[in-house]
């Protein structure tokens, strides 16, 4: 199961996994792109329009993954946005969008799919940026979301969860 599968790392990962014989659920807001990708990848791919900032959308995706694929055994939290602007600028809505997508989105997707991962002793993969450790000018909010994602993954991995991160 890959969030943010419509382009970039998510799309490339989906292609690689299918080439290695895996079935993948492609989750993204842009249904046309993931539907085209799923058509190209064939029966090994399932396109599900999902917005990681909308819990109901994630719950519906989890139900489809359970029904059509028998559940998720790997979750790749890859969905993210990078909008650069000086902190304190008039870009507050863009900063909020990054937090809701990059950090809270990954947390919500993980929470919703956690039972499926536990049932299969599954794995959790969070994709984040080196910007979580180094914050170039104009990247304060983006860096905060990357750092938060990395810290959350570390805590999750060290908790009593039966999944690995």
Domain spans, the chain: 2-158
Is 142 in the active site?
A: yes
Catalytically annotated residue among 142, 146, 149, 153: 142
Q: Angle formed by the axes of helices 55-69 and 106-119, to 10°?
A: 30
Q: Which of 26-30, 105-109, 136-140 has the lowest average pLDDT?
A: 136-140
The per-residue pLDDT for range 55-74, each reduced to its tens digit, is 999 999 999 999 999 999 99
Q: From CA 15, how far away is CA 5, in angstroms rounded?
A: 10
pTM of the model: 0.85
Fold of the CATH domain 2-158 = Rossmann fold (3.40.50)
What is the token pair recorded at 114? Answer: 């956690």
34-60 average pLDDT score: 98
């Amino acid at each position: 199961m890959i969030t943010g599968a419509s382009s970039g790392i998510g799309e490339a990962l989906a292609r690689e996994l299918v080439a290695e014989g895996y079935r993948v659920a492609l989750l993204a807001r842009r249904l046309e792109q993931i539907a085209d990708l799923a058509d190209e990848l064939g029966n090994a791919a399932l396109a599900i329009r999902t917005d990681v900032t909308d819990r109901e959308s994630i719950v519906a995706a989890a139900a489809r993954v359970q029904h059509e694929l028998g559940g998720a055994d790997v979750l790749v939290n890859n969905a993210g946005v990078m909008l650069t602007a000086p902190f304190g600028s008039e870009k507050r809505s863009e900063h909020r969008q990054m937090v809701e997508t990059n950090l809270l989105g990954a947390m919500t997707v993980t929470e919703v799919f956690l039972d499926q991962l536990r049932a299969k002793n599954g794995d959790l993969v969070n994709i984040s940026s080196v910007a979580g450790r180094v914050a170039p000018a104009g990247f304060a909010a983006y860096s905060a979301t990357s750092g938060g994602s990395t810290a959350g993954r570390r805590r999750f991995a060290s908790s009593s969860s039966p999944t690995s991160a």
